[in-house]
Each structure stands twice: as structure tokens, then as C-alpha cells.
Amino acid sequence: MLLYLTSKYFFPTSKFFLPLKKFPNILFSNNYYQKSKNSFLKNNKFYSTLRLKDTIYALSTAQGKAGIAIIRVSGSNALQAIEDITADFSEKPVPRKATLKTIIHPKTKEVIDHGLILWFPGPKSYTGENLVEFHIHGGTSVVRGVLDALGNMENFRHAEAGEFTRRAFENVKFDLTEIEGLADLLNAETEAQRRQALRQVQGGLKILYENWRKQLINNMASIEAIIDFGEDENIEDGVFEKVAENVKLLKNDIIEHLNDNRRGEILRDGIRVTILGPPNVGKSSFLNYLAQRKAAIVSHIPGTTRDIVDISLDFGGYPIIISDTAGLRPSDDDVEIEGISRAKDRIKTADIKIIILSSLELLHSIKSNHNYFSNIDSIIKDTVDDNTYLIINKSDLVENKSDLSKLKQISLKSIPVNYVWCLSCLSGEGFNEFQETFINSIKQKYDSLSSQIALITQARHREHLSDCLKSLENFLELNDLVLAAEELRFATHALGRITGRVDVEEILGVIFQQFCIGK
């Protein structure tokens, strides 16, 4: 088939075309391509490690002693596992019904344990294949004995990392976003992370992206129909204009989805909170109070903290990574200068910044008519934004509590932040108010439940959505119908890479279904 190559596209002699660089794995209908593709897959290392015809097994619960351990077997010969390693096998087990069995070694016939057997015939199983679960006692020797028994069976092998889920994907039980959500659910350490991951496992992102992809396929089918059959069939006028309008609406939806301030990714990885301020104001004491342990060294000597101290906390159900940094001040000490430089770098990458000041120093500056805030301009310059909060520490040392209200007012005039708290890291005074307000502010910023649609949780989602958006913008700028259709194909493929579903045959099916071409 003759191809005319350009920097971005290649054109076969027929009107149906595909990009050379962006679509190396899309299925063509000619035999030569199919043979090449099969050859590639057989030589591909990832493909060879799957060996999907093998029956696999693995321990599905955590390693170590436990009351119960679960061993999974998946594959075409999964039922053989029940037949060969149970002493009293007489008939095929009832699906999804636990049955007590005596488990033996298939060669020595030695009794290994007594446990429950569950049979899940495919495709109604986790992997979509025949699947068996052995619920046995969780002793190390028992688990080792059952795994050894399975390993002695023909065409059985130990599963590789993630292979059960990989087979579930191959059998269309999950898409890639659901699998990523499942991984996040297993790694979730806070309630907020669990809720976000569960929403993704339940198809929150899949439904959204598949809906967008189907819209693109329908619009692409309309354009392809004009290109291939516009001269021979009675195609309605204004089809291209209608497609362009649909693309504009979809483009706006994707832009809105991308403009989420990375809330989903931040919540997934942990909200980075950086403590900053002058030396000896109680930054390390604040960190220790939140951690409820001596995580950082506290001393009356200014400049004690040199390096950054990170602590991961579950703060009201939200994951935060809080960092104590070196006190910001002019210094001639090379080590302290390096610590201050690292502190400034961390401030730039922080999701939330907490400035801590000393109430005693503030009061002293007021009484001496000295502008305390002029001394810390270098600290807050280019730092204060909507994600910056202020804490006035050492409130226990202020005798007249009415002075605290004055300090708040003065501070708000000098430092434009949304929240100011007066508290004591020594006595705990004011911490309840701080925690309640701070947790509510985090909830408003990062809670995925506040969004009507699931949030982006992976950098690759954002990358593919950006690629899709760029192609849609190119489509709207092009006057050439053929090149415009190609940009829609790029956009569709970009969305397909997020979910792992890319199929050119869908386009052809929609063309013939909608326009009844060739009847």
C-alpha cells in the first residue's frame, strides 16, 4: 500500500488513514500488519512474562503469622487444584459457596491443613478466569506447604507481581483508572485517601473519560463519513459545523477538569505543609506537638534546626507531610546558610505554608514603637498567598489575654492571610481551635467529595488529557477536513490511553450504524 509521508501524518492511497508515530499499536485489517503485530508481541519481554495460558497461584494475604491466610489460584486449570490437593474431592464444588476440605500434598498425600475452599468459575470472578481461593490457617509452615503443593502441579506457576489484576484488565473486568484506584485503596492511610480511591475504583474516572471518548468517536464517525462517502451519499448539510460545536463544548469540559489545582494528586500523595518563620519562635515545638513526640530538637539557642525535618501525619482524616525548616535570618554560618537555602526551596513547593511568630516579640515591638514586621519582610516576601496561614505562638506567656486580640488585628493588617491563631506549644492553649479550623480549610480545598466528578489522581492522566486538549484545539484551527479528522483521532487515542481502551473498529461500526452507508 503506497504511503505519502509528512512530518506528522502519512496517507494511504485510500481515504482512510492513520498517523505513523502516534498509532503504532492500532489494529489494521490487513494480514501483513497482523503478522507484524503478533511477531512484535511474541518478542516483547512484557508479553512473554504474562504467559496467560498458565494457571497461577499466590498468597493474597500479608506475609507472616496470622489467624487465616488466603491463597488464590487463577487460570483454566484452577479447578484441577481442588481435585488434586483435597483428600475428599467427589464432585464439582458449588460456585461461591465455602466448603470445608482436607488439604493434602498431590504427590506425598500428606495432610497439610483443613480449610475452606471457594470456587469462582469464570467469567464471574476477580480475574475473569476460573479462580479458586484456599482459606487456610495462617501459620508460616502451613502456607509454605500449600504453596509447595500447588507448585508441584503441572502448568501451575507462582504469580508475578500484579498478575491477577493484569489478567482482570485483559479480561475487561477493570480499566486502568479502576486498577490505579485499587492500588491507591490498598495504600490509603487516611479516610480522605480511602474515599477518593474508592470513588475511582467504582468507576468515577472511567465513566467520565469513556463518555468523552464515545463523544469523540461519534463526532469522528461523522467526519469520516463526509470524507469517504460525502460525494456518493446524501449527507446532511452542516454536519461539520455541528461537530465543531460539540468539540468546543468537550474542550471546555476538559479545561475545567484540568483546572483542579491538582487536588486529587495532592490528596493521593499527601498535602505538603511547610512551617517557616524567624529563629526561636517555636517552629520545632509546633511540629512536636502535632506529632505528639520529640521529632525535632527544641532549644532556646536560635538556629538549632539546620536541616528539614519531615513528619507524615493523619490530620483529621487527611494526609499531611509537615516540614520543620531552619529559622530565616541573615547568617554568616555556612551550615545555617545551607539550611536556610533548603528552607526557601521547600517553601516554594509547599501546598500550605504556616508562618509562626512569637507573641512576646510582637508585644515588645508594639511597646517600643518598633515595626516588628519590617524585620520579617524578607521572610514573607513572595510567600503569602491563599495557602498561607499565620500562628502567633507562646500565648501562655502573655499576661493580659486581651493583648492577643490586638496582636491578631495588627498581624492581619501586616500579613494578608485568611487565618490567624494564637496558641501555646507548651501548654496546648488554642490548639483545639487551630485544629478544627485548619481541618475545615483542608476539607474545603482538597476533599474529593466536594467535587461533582472524580478528581485527577495520576500525572499520566493529566498528560494524556493535555494531549487530547491540544488535538481538539488543532481540530478547531484546521480548515482541511482530512487533517481535522486526524486530530480527532489523536484526541480519541489520548483518552483511550488513560483507560487502556483503544479500538479503531469502534469508529467503523458507528459510521455504518449511524449513516446506513452501503445499504
Using DSSP's 3-state secondary structure scheme, residue 405 falls into helix
The beta strands (E) that lie in 302-457 are given as 309-315, 318-324, 352-358, 388-393, 420-422
- Give strand pairing partners of 70: 135
Would you say residue 21 has pLDDT above 70? no
CA distances from 324 to 201, 361, 374, 377 (A): 35, 21, 23, 20
Task: Please tell me the distance from the alpha carbon of residue 324 to that of residue 286, in angstroms, as a whole number.
Answer: 9
Q: Which pLDDT score is estimated for 461?
A: 92
Higher pLDDT, 296 or 458: 458
pLDDT above 70 covers what percent of the chain? 81
| pLDDT at res. 492 | 92
Gap between the Cα atoms of 105 and 108, Å rounded: 6
pLDDT at 312: 93
At residue 355, the 3 state secondary structure works out as: strand
| Secondary structure letter of residue 86 according to DSSP | B
pLDDT of 516 above 50: no
Arithmetic mean of pLDDT over the chain:
81
Q: For the chain, which domains are there?
A: 1-43 (no CATH), 55-170 (3.30.1360.120), 201-260+455-515 (1.20.120.430), 266-450 (3.40.50.300)
The string over 144-179, giving b where at least 16 C-beta atoms fall within 10 Å of a residue's C-beta and e elsewhere, is ebbbebbeebeebbebeeebbbbbbbebebbbbbbb
pTM of the model: 0.77
Q: What percent of the chain has pLDDT over 90?
A: 45
Contact 310, 343 (CB under 8 A): no
Give the mean pLDDT of 23-37: 35
386-437 pLDDT per residue, tens: 889 999 999 988 888 788 888 888 878 778 888 899 999 989 999 999 999 9
The amino acid at 435 = Q
Q: Once rounded to an integer, what is the mean pLDDT over residues 8-17? A: 36
pLDDT at site 378: 60
Q: What is the pLDDT of residues 337-394, one digit of tens each?
A: 888 889 889 999 999 999 999 888 888 877 776 666 666 666 666 778 888 999 999 9
| Residue predicted with more confidence, 359 or 53 | 359
pLDDT at residue 150, rounded to an integer: 95
Q: How many whole angstroms separate alpha carbon 123 and alpha carbon 298?
A: 60
